[in-house]
Structures are given as structure tokens and as C-alpha cells.
Chain A
Amino acid sequence: MKNETYVISSNEKLARDIWRMQLVGDTSEFGNPGQFVNIALAGNYLRRPISVCDYDANSFTIIYKVVGEGTEKMSRMERGMRIDALTGLGNGFDTELCPKECTVVGGGVGVPPMYALTRKLVKEGHTVRVILGFNSAEDVFYEDQFRDLGCEVTVTTVDGSYGEKGFVTDAMEEGTYALACGPKPMLQAVFAKSSDGQFSMEERMGCGFGACMGCTCQTNDGPRRVCKDGPVFEKGAVAW
């Protein structure tokens, strides 16, 4: 973990309430896709955990949904402004556990971390099928970016206004190895349909680095901290 200051190089709207921010600075602590940063915002006591969508040697990208006070503040920040973040948090996805063929499933704001993951899987020679789920056409983002990685991409919307109508699991083959991030009901449905896989959890956090026990979830290996032992858990450990 590191505490670094980043300079915003862009902050733009991608879809309804969905924003992408690019930040320049030290990314030396960044590791597996699926890790997150914890962002300090002036006037808010707690930091905001946001997944790393992608990163390189001196910059990274986050995609966030405006849902409350903090993310609303973020959407008003401009190029050149500074952000303080704790970086290198969480375990992230372990691509070494993945078979040759696997399915990546992202739902809503669970999509961002799946981008760096997919890029890594493709680079390592996996055949990746990507399923992105949204509520409606106005919520869809990053379909092209995933396609540009050279994967087969299916988009589902609950109301059928874009892509295939239905839930991500409607587009998912039974019995595949799944890597998933999204709302809990989605994760549960993917869990049920998968043979094995890795699931990224979400929980309200006090610290984001393992000190407060605020984010604990029950697993088959006992209580585990989503921020430090997770957010990604193997299927065998997940206890809903």
C-alpha cells in the first residue's frame, strides 16, 4: 500500500451517471486487476473505494457512478486537480487459476475492473468471452473497448433497449469458469451457473486496508475482510 497524490488528466461522462477519470502519478503499488484505490475527498471523512479499471507505468483509469455526495464531488473535479489515494489495495483476480477458456462477467459499475482483467487474460493467451450487463441502453459503456481487446462481447440490458434482453446469466453458458464483479444478485446468479470461478465482492469500508474489521464477510474459510483478503474470492470460499 502507498499513499500518493495524483493529477487528474481527464474526467468525462461515459453514460448515464457514469464517469471516467484518468489520473497521473505513481502506480508502482498496482498489481492484479480487481484491486482498488481508496480516494480521499475534501469534506468527507471516509475515503471512497473505487476499482482500478486500467493502469500503466505512470497513470491509471477509474470509472465511477455518481450515487452520492462523494462521487458527485468527483464528477465536478477538473483536469489538473489533485486527488489523494491509498493504492495497491485488495488481492485482485488471480489469472493463474484460470483455465484456457473463461467467461468474464461485469454488471453496471462492476464492469470497470473487468477491463484490465480481460486485457491481462487475453495477453496470457486465454480465450475470453465477455458478458456486460446493464439496466438500459443509456447505461451501457466500454463495449467497444472490450471488443478492441479481441474478445467476443455480449451486452445485455434488463429492459432490452440495447443488446440482448435479460440478465447476464441469460447470455452465459452453463458450467464455465467465471470471473465476475457486479451487484450481489448478479454474482449469485453467475455463481450458480458457473463450474468454478472468482467473484469480486463489495462492502462498506472504514479503512480499506485491513485495520477496522468493518468490511468482513463470512466465507467457507471463516470470516474474511473484503478489503484485504478480498475483494476477490474463489468460488469454493464464497458463502452467500
Chain B
Amino acid sequence: MVNTKIMLNGIEIDNPVIPASGTFAFGYEFAPMYDLDILGSMSLKGTTAQARFGNPTPRIAETPSGMLNSVGLQNPGVDAVIREELPKLEKVFHKKAVANISGFSVEEYVECAEKFDACDAIGWLEINISCPNVHGGGMSFGTDPCEAAKVTAAVKKAVKKPVWIKLTPNVTDIAQVAKACEEEGADAVSMINTILGMRIDPKTRKPILANTMGGLSGPAVFPVALRMVWQVFEKISIPIVGMGGVASARDVIEMMLAGATAVQVGAANLVDPWACEKIIRDLPRVMEELKIENLSDIIGGAH
């Protein structure tokens, strides 16, 4: 029998597979498809203090081996999420979920984090300082190590639950930002958010996305994400939650070998709603094939 269990900030999870924020709604949408309790955890849709419609449509475009999105953090606001979405999730998911939090000011991050910190259903707080689809917030905190440090410090001071900082790949040196977060007490970094990209429709000669640019995700970004996880692993000692293009049990293992303690699966859920179930079912078989007894033994194993 192989062992897929992982320790993540003092919380043991059954396996390292976590659906990524923005690709799993508030979780319960997937309950008719499979037993959600097989998941390691799940990261909920990015939440802000106020309700947001997000960006105008079209806000999805196809790319080779991936997709662009410019959803722009559509969510009903933190209070509605806690009042309406979490109770629905708790009926079908009996483990701790990850709250994904976005903001336009340090105060907003803190406000949302404090509210989720008080929720039983939530095990970890994932602070998204990397959304490429909103202006004057989101990614602007993630591209500057000083700003990233400020958000981390402020949130850490306000909450008890473990805090992950979700990093953007749209920087020159992602390890530097990761390091800044670690120094301010982050319990983990999760990475990568989407890579800024765009498509143009040659017929209309206009960008396909109403917002012009959007974030690239899916298998197209896997090698970039893997490389960045590798680089960050070399520089920090807190856990890394790796993601970007993961679509199979082998990808999970590759991410872990690069340095990830847990792995998130994003766009794959959108094209195959059963993607995470399949990955989790495959994992023990692939581990046996690769002679891995304890999955946690391979974290950073390629270094």
C-alpha cells in the first residue's frame, strides 16, 4: 500500500490534490459528479470584500493547449460567501477548504482574511496577490516584493489560520517575491497564477477578450510553472503549493519532485469535470509504477 498523505501547515490531508481557485466555483457544483471528500482539499473562488460582476464578456479565449480568462474575480462578496456558499459546501464536503482572497488594498485583504479566519469550513487562507485581471489591486501587490511583504505581514498579524500567498509568474524573479513573503511569516506560497496573454481575432482585427488581455492557464503553462516551483524551492523553506497546467497523476509527481508539497489543478477541471477524481484514482498506481512508497518523500526530490 502506498501512502499519499501529506502534511500541510500542521494539517494532514489524504492526498496532495486540490482543485484551484476559480475553476471549482464554491465546490458544491461538483458534488453531483463525484464524492468531494476524496479531494485533499479545494480552493474556493476568489473572494473580495464587495460583490463583483467581474469584467465584460467575452472573457474566455482558447489557446494552443490552454485557455485565457479575464473573469476578473466575479464573486458575491465575502459576507454572502460565508452566509450562502459555505453552508452549501459544508453539506457535501467534510474537510477543510482553502479560502482564496483578493483585494484592492491591504485593509481589504485583512478584512476578508479575518472573516474567513472565523469559519470552521476553512483550513487555510490563500491570499491572491496575483490576479492579472483587475486593475489597481490584485497583481500589483504581487509584482513588488515590498508590497507583497506588506500584505503578508498585515494578514499574518490579523489571523490564526495558516496563510498562503499566491504568487504571480508575471515577474522577473519570482523567488525574490516568495522570499519576501516567507520573511513576513507566510506559512506557504501557492504558485503560479495565470500568465498574462492575449489573442486577436483576425476577422474582426480586435482582441478576442473584451478586457484585451487575460491569464493563460492549462498544459501550455506547465513547464513554466514547474521551472518556477523549482526556483522558489531553492530559495525558501516554507511549503510550496504548486500549480499550472497539472492534468495527470504524473504531472502531480513532477510538480512535487520540483518542490511542491501539494498541487492544485485548475483549467483541467473545466474541460474534464472529473479531472481531479481521475488524478486521485491514478495516483497510487503511478506511485507503485515509480516505486514511490510515501508521496511526501519525493517533495523536492529532483534537486
Q: Does B9 interact with chain A (Cβ within 8 Å)?
A: no
Contact A212-B29, Cβ < 8 Å, known A204-B58, A218-B53: no
A44 surroundings in chain B (CB, below 8 A): 62
Determine whether the beta carbon of A45 is less than 8 Å from that of B25.
Answer: no
When the two chains form their complex, are residues B57 and A203 in contact, meaning their CB atoms are under 8 A apart? yes
Chain A neighbourhood of B58, CB < 8 A: 203-204
Size category, A interface = 20 to 34
* A216 / chain B contacts, CB cutoff of 8 Å: 53-54, 57, 71, 74
Smallest CB gap from B29: residue in A: A210
Chain A neighbourhood of B270, CB < 8 A: 46, 206-207, 211-212
Question: In the complex, what residues of A have CB within 8 A of residue B69's CB?
Answer: 206, 212, 214
Q: How far is the CA of A21 from the CA of B64 in the complex (A)?
A: 26
A96 smallest CB distance to B (angstroms): 24
* Minimum Cβ distance to chain B for residue A115 (Å): 27
Contact indicator per residue, chain B 177-213, by CB within 8 Å of chain A (1) or not (0): 0000000000000000000000000000000100000
Given A44-B62, A212-B60, also A206-B53 (CB < 8 A): no
Known: A206-B270, A213-B22. A45 touches B29 (CB 8 A): no
Contact residues in B for A218 (Cβ distance below 8 Å) = 53
Q: Across the two chains, which residue of chain A brings its CB closest to B58? A: A204
The number of residues on chain B lying at the interface, defined by a beta carbon within 8 Å of a beta carbon of chain A, is: 35
Instruction: Pick from A46, A203, A215: contact of B67, CB below 8 A.
Output: A46
Q: Quick one: which of B23, B30, B66 contacts A212, CB cutoff 8 A?
A: B23
Interface SS of chain A: loop
B273 touches A45 (CB 8 A): no
Contact, CB under 8 Å: B22 / A212 = yes
User: Are A204 and B59 in touch, CB under 8 angstroms?
Assistant: yes
Contact of A3 among B24, B25, B54, B273 (CB under 8 A): B273
Q: Chain B residue with minimal CB distance to A213?
A: B74
Task: Give the contacts of A172-212 with B (CB-CB under 8 A).
Answer: 203-207, 209-212
Tell yes or no: B33 within 8 A of A by CB: yes
B-contact 0/1 string along A20-64, CB 8 Å cutoff? 000000000000000000001000111100000000000000000
Q: Does B61 contact A (CB under 8 A)?
A: yes
**Is A77 an interface residue, CB under 8 A from the partner?**
no
Q: Which residues of B contact A212 (CB under 8 A)?
A: 22-23, 25, 60, 69, 71, 270
Contacts A1-B33, A45-B218, A209-B273 given; does A223 touch B53 at CB 8 Å: yes
Question: Quick one: which of A1, A211, A214 contacts B59, CB cutoff 8 A?
Answer: A214
The interface residues of chain B lying within 8 Å CB-to-CB of A1 are 32-33, 273
Residues from chain B with a CB closer than 8 A to the CB of A228 are 29
**Residue A86 interfacial (CB < 8 Å):** yes
State in angstroms the CA–CA spacing of A214 and B267 once bound together. 12
Q: Is the CB of A214 within 8 A of B25?
A: no
Return chain A residues, CB-CB under 8 Å to B274.
3
Partner of A46, one of B33, B57, B62: B62
Q: A46-B62, A46-B67, A217-B57 are in contact. Are A211 and B273 (CB under 8 A)?
A: yes
B237 at the interface (CB under 8 A from A): no
Q: Give which listed residue, B32, B54, B62, B272, contacts A213 with CB less than 8 A.
A: B54
* B271 in contact (CB, < 8 A): yes
A205 cross-chain contacts in B, Cβ below 8 A: 60
**Chain A residues within an 8 Å CB radius of B105:** none
Q: 18 A-B Cβ contacts within 8 A?
A: A3-B272, A3-B273, A44-B62, A45-B65, A45-B66, A45-B271, A46-B62, A46-B270, A47-B271, A86-B273, A204-B60, A204-B208, A207-B271, A212-B270, A215-B57, A215-B60, A216-B71, A223-B74
Contacts A204-B208, A209-B273 known; list 16 others, CB within 8 Å.
A1-B33, A3-B272, A3-B273, A45-B63, A45-B66, A45-B219, A45-B267, A204-B57, A207-B23, A207-B271, A209-B29, A210-B25, A211-B29, A212-B22, A212-B69, A213-B74
Chain B residues near A (Cβ < 8 Å):
22-25, 29-30, 32-33, 45, 53-54, 57-67, 69, 71, 74, 208, 218-219, 267, 269-274
Residues on A lying within 8 angstroms of B by beta carbon are 1, 3, 40, 44-47, 86, 203-207, 209-218, 223, 228
